[in-house]
Amino acid sequence: MGKLKLSAIFSDGIILQRDTTENVIWGISGPDSEVTLSITGDGYSESGMTVCDLQGFFQVQLPAIPAGGPYCIKVSSGGEEKVINNVLFGDVFVLSGQSNMELMIDRVYDEYKDYLDTLDDDNIRAFQIDRNPVFKNPEEMLETGRWMSLNRENLMLFSAVGLFAAIKIRKEIGVPIGMYQTAVGGSPICSWLSEESVRRLSLDTEDLDKAQQDGYVKKVEEADLKRDTAWLDEAKASFKKFDEDGISEKSFTGVEFPGYYGKYIGHDFCGSVVLTKKFVVGDDVDVSQPARLTLGVFRDADEAYINGKFVGETLYRYPPRKYELPAGTLKKGENVLKVNLYINRGEGWAMPGKDYMIKMADGTVIDLKGNDLDIHVVKTMEELPYATFFIYYPTANYHGIIYPIQRQRVKGVFWYQGESNVMRYETYRSEFAAMTADWRRIFREPELPFISVQIASYSEGDIKPEKYDWADFREAQLQCESIDNSCMVQAYDLGEYNDLHPVKKKPVGERVAEAALKTIYEKKPYFKGPSMKDIKTVNDGIKITFKTKTSLVAKGSEDGVIKGFSFVKENENGKTFIPAEGKLEADGSVFVKLPVDQSFDVISYAWNNSPDDANLYDKEDKPTVPFYTLLSQ
């Protein structure tokens, strides 16, 4: 085997940052070996050389090259040669955070099908970096991965937020756009920090100490796998036995579907449950055609059957259940849906507010909702503890994902993260500041721009929650804007109360692009939406004025009524929110009437986990920034 080796990012189709002398190609060859590099194409030809250090590591600096291509880069050492074809120069961005940045086009395809089917642009490319938790020595080289162009073959693998942002930026700027897709679902921000920052801020250092012990990670992963396998095997065996003898611990009939089933089986129930539902396919339905079964979302895992035939499964709670039914799966007359439900940690449900239906190829829809579900509790089991996700541990993703690309020049970072830090919102600004400092240091870019996305509305299916911890966290995100060269785009209005991963990713990506165009390219402040400017008590209400670029609108309201306000009472037992409505005034202010014979400490707007009724926007369709403000005494 030869000695010459390049990091996996240096492969066919790479996009390098334009107009900079700081691009480098790096890799490994023999100690003290000479390495030569040439770049040709688009009427250009240049070459250079360097010598490996005593460990065999080398890097060769590239000249500044404007947007364009394609180019060919050849790296030679010790009689070996690596060739990188179809190289473009443009603007390169790092996409990072957790699942809502990681979420790929395949999850939002149905929402934007007609638009997505038109996309084909070789000048938009992405490189997916594989998960690789590292706790000691940061990785210098990536072993796997490939560059993919935007086309039908690769479309589903693009980050949805990243792709929609890239399309808008490319349309406006006209240069190739490259993206490093680095996001890791569920990851807290400490996993993206350096060890120095983690220890300085005392962020789960006990976990880091354990992970750094030789053999610890492997030992825990093996134990987790053994435990999880045993639990699943026990559950599967119980389903098999139920299929054979039909005996259950208890059953319930005439249950609502979808619904929350803790009130029947117990909120803390863990184990195996079978859901069965009979439905009728009419004589006018052509059952010789294929169809799709849509089953919303279950907690936790499921296996679905139609008329005894297995049609699909999902291994955890969050993905939407969409199972393809081959022609002939259905029959005219009575059919039976059966779902084997694995409830790992209590609160089993079929999430209300989602679609539960069968859609035939010709568009015919068979609705599966109703009050005719049967629940069979097959076996009560011990709770299955969460697996140990080492990719969530401090430094894991900084060392294993970000550090290996730190020699690359990039235009900016798009960051969508926070759901896993809601419970520690008080320290988020300091952690975010540490992360930006860490990344700017290793990328050798003191002013590297960070554009972050506000976490969207979500309340685990509770339409009117008495919860506001996500609102507290959104405020912590907003405070991060005080860090130089960082800004936040709002997304609370683009969420779903019953889905942690909302599908409205196109407007999110376009807002990210707008922020990038304004702050990175124009070097001007980004306006995220109207913000509260002043509050005055007048007569029997509150007059609020806003800082805004355009006039305000009460979105979706014909009479100008604004929802989303609350008056708040604070005491030793917590906070009580009293909903209130506002009205647009002729002078552009908003008047909110005070409740009669009551006193309040605070007025708030969009200050809960899922403020779906908040409807104060500007004419550019930007939502008003949430606020929680003391009333003057």
Q: What CATH number corresponds to the domain at position 274? A: 2.60.120.260
Provide the domain limits for residue 601.
531-630
Q: Angle at the Cα of 205 (from 199 to 207), degrees rounded to 5?
A: 150
Cα distances from 310 to residues 272, 297, 329, 341, 570, in angstroms, run 17, 18, 10, 14, 54
Q: Tell me what pLDDT residue 2 has.
A: 66
Task: Examine residue 46 and state whether it is found in any structural domain, yes or no.
Answer: no
CATH code at position 486: 3.40.50.1110
Domain closes at, from 463, 494, 528: 528
198 plus 237 within the same structural domain = no
Residues 310 and 340 in one domain: yes
Considering the domain architecture, whether residues 602 and 559 belong to the same structural domain is answered as yes
Q: Is residue 3 part of a domain?
A: no
pLDDT value of residue 573: 85
In-domain check, residue 137: yes
Identify the three-state secondary structure at position 4: coil
Q: What is the mean pLDDT of each run of 10 residues along the chain (633 residues)?
A: 88 99 96 97 93 96 97 97 98 99 98 98 98 96 97 99 99 99 99 99 98 98 98 99 98 98 98 99 97 98 99 97 98 99 97 98 98 99 98 99 98 99 98 99 98 97 81 98 97 97 98 98 96 94 96 94 95 90 95 89 96 97 97 69
Does a structural domain hold residue 152?
A: yes
Domain count, the chain: 3
Residues 563, 502 share a domain:
no
HSE-up of residue 142 (Cα within 13 Å, Cβ side):
26
The CATH number that applies at residue 596 is 2.60.40
Q: Which two tokens stand for residue 327?
A: 């022609």
Q: Mark which of 493, 528, 563 sits at the end of a domain.
A: 528
Token reading at 487: 């800004």
pLDDT for 572: 87
Q: Are residues 497 and 483 in the same domain?
A: yes
Residues 354 and 258 in one domain: yes
Which string of b and e fits 585-597 if b means at least 16 CB within 10 Å?
Answer: eeeebbbbebeee
Element (H, E) at 544: strand 541-547
Same domain? For 104 and 129 the reply is yes
Instruction: Say if 63 falls within a structural domain.
Output: no
DSSP letters, 406-433, are TTS--SEEEEE--GGGGGGGGGHHHHHH
Nearest C-alpha neighbor of 180 from the set 145, 135, 151, 133 = 145
CA distance 12 to 208: 37
Residue where a domain stops, chosen among 497, 528, 559: 528
The DSSP 8-state label assigned to residue 165 in this structure reads H
Is residue 287 included in any domain, yes or no? yes
Q: Does some domain include residue 515?
A: yes
DSSP 83-140: EEEEEEEEEEEEEEESHHHH-BHHHHGGGSHHHHTT--EEEEEEEEPPP---SSSPP-
Task: State the pLDDT at residue 295.
Answer: 99
Look at residue 208 in the predicted model and tell me its pLDDT: 99
CA distance 628 to 607: 7
Residues 488 and 349 both lie in one domain: no
**Do 281 and 312 share a domain, yes or no?**
yes
Count CB atoms within 10 A of the CB of residue 237. 12
In a domain, 516, yes or no: yes
Which residues in 516-550 are b (16+ Cβ under 10 Å) and which e? Answer: bbbbbeeeeebbbbbebeebeeeeebbbbbbebee
- Same domain, yes or no: 411 and 490: yes
Residues 248 and 356 in one domain: yes
Residue 344, helix vs strand vs coil? coil
| 323 and 337 part of one domain | yes
How far apart, in whole angstroms, are the C-alpha atoms of residue 224 and residue 568? 45
